[in-house]
Amino acid sequence: MIDPRLQTLAKNILAHSVKLQPKENLMIDIRGTGEALAKELIKQAYEIGAYPFVRYLHQGLQRQLALGTDEARVEFQRKWEEQMWKDIQAYIVINGPTNDAELSDVPPEKSGIIRTVLRPNNDYIVDNTKWLLLNYPTSAMAQNANMSTEAFENFYFDVCSVDYGKMEKAFQPLKEWMEKTDQVRLVGPGTDLTFSIKGIPSIICAGELNIPDGEIFTAPVRDSVNGTITFNAPSQYQGTRFENVRLTFENGKIIDATSNNTKRLNEILDTDEGGRYIGEFAIAVNPYILHPMSDILFDEKIAGSFHFTPGQAYTVADNGNRSAIHWDMVSIQRPDYGGGEIYFDGVLIRKDGLFVPESLQPLNPENLKG
């Protein structure tokens, strides 16, 4: 018998996240595990009158393909998939990795070819389909979170069942505030950073593009970032775990970057010119996610955190930066992680992870949980 929590999750995904309609084509990608959820999505999609399709992407096979690939091969893939994506209205990725480091030994030049050549298709998906990226609970994820599998599954369904309608409403005053803001200042241990977000839209994320969700994002004016930022959450990117990442900026560009693996960090940032500029700034609020678990879909939503992203900007909040990478790096500003402040045009907006202005306090954890 199917877990009723999966039935509810599938229903919320199809109704709220991708708003699936009769006769629409739905593509479901399973990356690792997640067959039980995929089956329920297929069943409910047929009940709606839509047409579901599935691709199963095995981690080990994807690694083997990446190890031997070249630009000509990936270009064939891009052309084959281009027409397919034009026929897809809704797209759900179920990400259930059994080994986060499966791709760690793929050479960066191979990864770069894949990301660069497939970028037009990925941009089309983001801009023209109703898409959702969803993490599915696995033993590997439970281990990263230092939890038993059963405890992690319960945590997962709590996180995914947040009242996203309530969250979206609570985000509205912050969206309005951000869209009239020029200068942002971030302060914390190892961090004193300034940049402008003037004229760039702020986008609410409340269960429509990611599950779990709970952030609002914009982008800094590309050349406006100055100062230093230190990230206190570990970051898993391209199969490598990074800790204590510290970036120094001058007129938007990362001029110095260090971490526990400084060489690999700089190799990734040097993927292309846009890799050393920022494509996203986001403030996160999910009240059930409190600690890093080396899973960016969770970590970037940690209550009291923000993330700052070297690489590609989203076209919906565009500062013009283009890159083959998009690397969300997370800093948590709650007191148990050293505290910190966010200022908009000199006004204190959030201190030690809690919003200060009365109009923004519905976004604080105790209010989003209620």
Q: pLDDT (tens digit, 9 = 90+) per residue, 56-112? A: 998 889 999 999 999 999 999 999 999 999 999 999 999 988 777 787 888 888 988
Among the CATH numbers 3.90.180.10, 3.40.1830.10, 3.10.150.10, 3.40.50.1820, which is that of 4-160?
A: 3.40.1830.10
Place of tokens 């609002």: 216
pLDDT digits (tens, 9 = 90+) for 291-319: 998 889 899 999 999 999 999 999 999 99
What DSSP letter does each residue of 39-66 carry, written as one string? Answer: HHHHHHHHHHT-EEEEEEE-HHHHHHHH
- Find the mean pLDDT for residues 255-276: 97
Residue type, 187: V
Give the span between the Cα atoms of 327 and 189, in whole angstroms: 21
For strand 25-32 and strand 90-96, is the pairing parallel, antiparallel, or unpaired? parallel
Task: Count the Cβ atoms, other than its own, within 10 Å of residue 155.
Answer: 19
Task: Give the pLDDT confidence of 160-175 residue by residue, as tens digits.
Answer: 878 888 999 999 999 9
The pLDDT confidence band at residue 159, using thresholds 50, 70 and 90, is confident
Neighbours of 235 (CB within 10 A): 22
The predicted pLDDT at position 238 comes to 87
Mean pLDDT along residues 277-293: 95
Task: Give percent of the chain with pLDDT exceeding 70.
Answer: 100
Whose tokens are 């083997």? That residue is 64
Q: pLDDT tens, 11-56?
A: 989 998 999 999 999 999 999 899 999 999 999 999 999 999 999 9
pLDDT tier, 215 (very low <50, low <70, confident <90, very high otherwise): very high
| pLDDT bucket at 353, cuts 50 / 70 / 90 | very high
Hey, what amino acid is at 309?
Answer: T
pLDDT tens-digit map of 176-191 = 999 999 999 999 999 9
pLDDT of res. 68 = 94
Domain boundaries, the chain: 4-160, 183-356
Sign of the C-alpha dihedral computed for residues 355, 359, 363 and 365 taken in this order: positive
- How far apart CA 93 and CA 323 sit, in angstroms, is 22
Which tens digit of pLDDT belongs to each residue from 312-344?
999 999 999 999 899 999 999 999 999 999 999
The predicted structure's pLDDT at residue 247: 98
Is pLDDT at 370 greater than 70 in this prediction? no
Residue 210 pLDDT: 85
Helices (H) and strands (E) in the chain, counts: 11, 20
CA angle 237, 309, 326 (to 5 degrees): 55
Please report the pLDDT score of residue 184 as a whole number: 98
